[in-house]
Amino acid sequence: MAGRARLAQPGDEQPGHPARVVARVAVDADAQVADGAQQPFDFDGSCLQLTGAFCNPKPVQRPRPPILIGGRSAATLRVVAEHADLWNIPGGDIEDCVRRGALLDGFCAEIGRDPASITRSIHLPVSYDRAAATRDSIAEAIDAGFQHVVLGLPAPFPDNVARWVATEVIGQLPT
């Protein structure tokens, strides 16, 4: 686990039953936490074993890089409650996203974790033809408690798309 760490994600193209994939995310998160504890380190997880492992270069974040886990299934949200610093949901119906956030809050309560310790993130699509609708979606997500918004830009990208997003979408949001 040298340099930047990239954990498995439930949406990754990985073989196996979805429950095994979610379990792999949990094991990867445990290993990420373990690698900052001491050097060298050993880790014995259900699907990942490391002996005498080093993390070099060492992460600049302390005590470790933040762990972001994305997904919406109950199994994934349990792993988020146990391990994540940030949770990302791939957009969709905002009411469903809010319900998933409430489910996450419940899983946090079960293990005694403050749900506010997890940054809520949402991925929202950008409509080049409907900037106002994109702004409305962003405002709705923020009003629903999402602190971090990832904007998905569909290809093909228009010329100067970054400037357009900055001025027509982000720059026009109410403060």
CA distances from 19 to 16, 38, 75, 117, 152 (A): 8, 30, 7, 25, 27
pLDDT in tens, 35-65: 555 567 676 766 667 677 766 666 677 767 7
Q: Report the distance separating Cα 134 and Cα 149, nearest Å.
A: 12
Give residue limits of the domains in the chain.
1-63, 66-175
Tell me, what's the pLDDT at 8? 46
pLDDT in tens, 21-43: 555 656 565 555 555 555 676 76
pLDDT in tens, 66-107: 888 889 999 889 989 988 899 999 988 999 999 999 999 999
